[in-house]
Amino acid sequence: MRSTRPSLGGWANLREPRTAHAMAAAGLDWVCIDQQHGWNAGHDCTDLVAAVRAAGAHALVRVAWNRPEEIGRVLDAGAEGVIVPMVESAEEARAAVAAVRYAPEGRRSWGAARTPYTSVPADAAAANASTACLVMVESPAAVDRVPEIAAVPGLDGVFLGPFDLSLALGLPLPQLLADRSDGSALLRVVAACAENGIVAAAYGGTPARAQLLGEHGFTVLAVGADDAVFADASADLVAQARAMG
C-alpha cells in the first residue's frame, strides 16, 4: 500500500461478495471488510476476501477486537492484512503484531486451511512480509501514546478512526478535520507515522472527507462504503426518475 499517490480504499459493510467485488473492480486499491460494525460481523469472510482479491484489489479485514483468534481466522481466510480497532498502547499494538506474524516474529498459528489455493503463501517468512498490520487510533489516550504505538516493530501503519475520536474529544467531526494547529490530534498521528516510516491511514467515508484527511498527510484513505454508495445511487436514481414526470 506504499505509493507516491494516495492509496484509495472502500469499506464493505454488506455481507455480499458481489458488491465487494464490484467495489474492488471499480479501481480501488483495497477494500476493507468490516467485521466490527458491518453486516459481516460474526460471519466467515472467506468469500468476501476471495471476491475482492479476484477483482485485483487488496483485501483487508477490520476485526471486531484485538484478539488473536479473530485475527488468525481472517488471515486464514486469505485477508492480506488486518485493521485492529481501539488500540491505546504500545503493548496492545505489540499484541496485534504478534497475532499477525508467524514465529519468530509473532505467535500466529500455521494452518491456513480455508485460504484460497491461489493465495496460500509459500512459507511463514513470505506470509510475514506480505501481510499488513494496522492499528486504529480512536481515543485521546491513543493519540497521547501514538509515538510509542507507531514505533512498535512490525507495525505497518496507524489507521485513524475520526468518528470515534471526535466523540471522545467532544469535538464535532468537521472541527476535528479542520484543526491544523500545532499539536492537533491528526497532525500528531501523521508525524508519528512519518517518524517511524509507516503509513498514516484514515477512514474518510466520503471523497470530501478523505480529501481533508489527505491534506493533513494521510496517504491511505477509505473513500466510501458499499451500503452508503448503494443508498446514494438509489436516491439519485429516484430523483432522476421523478424529474422525468
Q: Cα(122)–Cα(27) distance, rounded to whole angstroms? A: 27
In whole angstroms, give the CA distance from residue 214 to residue 223. Answer: 11
- Angle formed at CA 152 by CA 70 and CA 30, multiple of 5 degrees: 55
Give the cell for residue 14.
Answer: 454488506
Alpha helix segments (H runs only) across 42-122: 46-54, 68-76, 90-100
18: left (phi over 0), alpha (psi -120 to 50) or beta: alpha
Q: Dihedrals φ, ψ of 174, to 5°?
A: -60, -35
Among residues 37, 43, 58, 216, the one annotated as catalytic is 37
- 37: annotated active-site residue: yes
Residue type, 25: A
Which residue numbers are catalytic? 37
